Amino acid sequence: MDANHMVQHGAEQGSANLARAGLAWGLMSLTVAGVVVTHTVHPDRIGDPALAVVGALLVAMGLGLNGMALHDLLDQRRSRGRIDHPLTVGKLGSAQGALVASGGLVMAMLGGGLLGRDAMLIVAALATGVLLYNAMARFIPALGMVLIGLLVAGTTLLGGWPPAAAWMPWMVLAATMSVVLVIYIASGQRPAVRPKVAVGLALECVVVSCVLGVIPMTAPQHDVALWWPIGTIVLLVVLLALRARPVVRGTQLVRTVGLWGGLHAAAWCMAVGAMWWAVTIAVATVVIGATIMALRDLRPKAAESDQWL
């Protein structure tokens, strides 16, 4: 391999890592926001809020590590030659990958333990969903799109049932499914989605969202300023309209959406009056976003990967 290829491969791997960092922050911030919203609306559900936030972070980081490691472990043959997967280029052995996946699962269960028995059951269900997604569902667009939406929305339920802000998991579910559909089509994933199939998947998003929308309609309602999270949904639509173009593909779009998750989490904290947490998450999102952009600009230019996970 010549020097130019080495530089190109290094740039592509760095781009993929930055995209995963953006996704990880989006998941962590939404998980923390779910606990903060629950504690703000129902203080009796959560004992020590600081311990609960630590638990939420452990769950998000653990499930993230578990999911990424499982993805690479189960995809070694299919991804051989792709430099953004450590397992396929010899930077990480299969045994080490399995250790990372197991360690992530243990970390998530420990975090669930800090949040209570119900949270541990939710974590176990989410971990099962992560395994199902990586083993099968991600190869079936109609199933994978719904499952990944349920997984992300499920992280907002660690504070207990019914959800303190009943519309939060629904909005996260609908937004996640829509984002997955847009990224899948824009990044040229396989199997390719034909126009008729794309329309069918879009209708599936609408139907699933409407069916699960019964939950917030029937759950107890609390004083929540919904215009904050709705505002970030509008922002997401604008971002997707601007970024989901053939010249802006794969990891670029994933980074944008991941960082949007931080803003959406901050908006939910703002909606229930948890101002300190809203400002903290929003500032952290801006700092992380600026850091990712700076690191991206410091790396050699490279074609973005078409693979989004």
Q: pLDDT by residue (tens digit) across 22-43?
A: 889 999 999 999 999 998 988 8
Distance CA 130, CA 173 (A): 15
Q: Is residue 307 part of a domain?
A: no
Q: List the CATH number of the domain containing 73.
A: 1.10.357.140
Those residues with Cβ within 8 angstroms of residue 196's Cβ, 6 or more apart along the chain or in another chain: none
Q: pLDDT by residue (tens digit) across 201-239?
A: 778 777 777 777 776 666 666 678 889 999 999 988 888
Residue 13 has pLDDT above 70, yes or no: no
Q: Is residue 1 part of a domain?
A: no
* The total number of structural domains that make up the chain: 1
The reported pLDDT for the residue numbered 52 is 93
> pTM value?
0.84
Q: Is residue 308 part of a domain?
A: no
Q: pLDDT by residue (tens digit) across 97-132?
A: 889 999 999 999 999 999 988 899 999 999 999 999
Q: Is residue 66 part of a domain?
A: yes
Q: Is residue 25 part of a domain?
A: yes
Written as six digits, the tokens of 236 are 């997401």
Mean pLDDT of the chain: 79
Per-residue pLDDT band for 78 (boundaries 50, 70, 90) equals low
Q: Is residue 293 part of a domain?
A: yes
| C-beta separation of 40 from 164 below 8 A | yes
Q: Is residue 123 part of a domain?
A: yes
Per-residue pLDDT band for 89 (boundaries 50, 70, 90) equals very low
Is residue 45 within a helix (H) or strand (E), and if so which, with residue range? none
Show the domain range for 169.
Answer: 9-298
Residue 180 has pLDDT above 70, yes or no: yes
Mean local confidence (pLDDT), 154-172: 84
Q: Is residue 83 part of a domain?
A: yes
DSSP 83-115: TT-GGGGTSS-HHHHHHHHHHHHHHHHHHHHHH
DSSP-assigned letter for residue 299: S
| C-beta separation of 130 from 74 below 8 A | no
Instruction: Tell whether the torsion through CA atoms of 11, 12, 18 and 21 is positive or negative.
Output: negative
| Highest-pLDDT range among 5-19, 71-85, 90-104 | 90-104
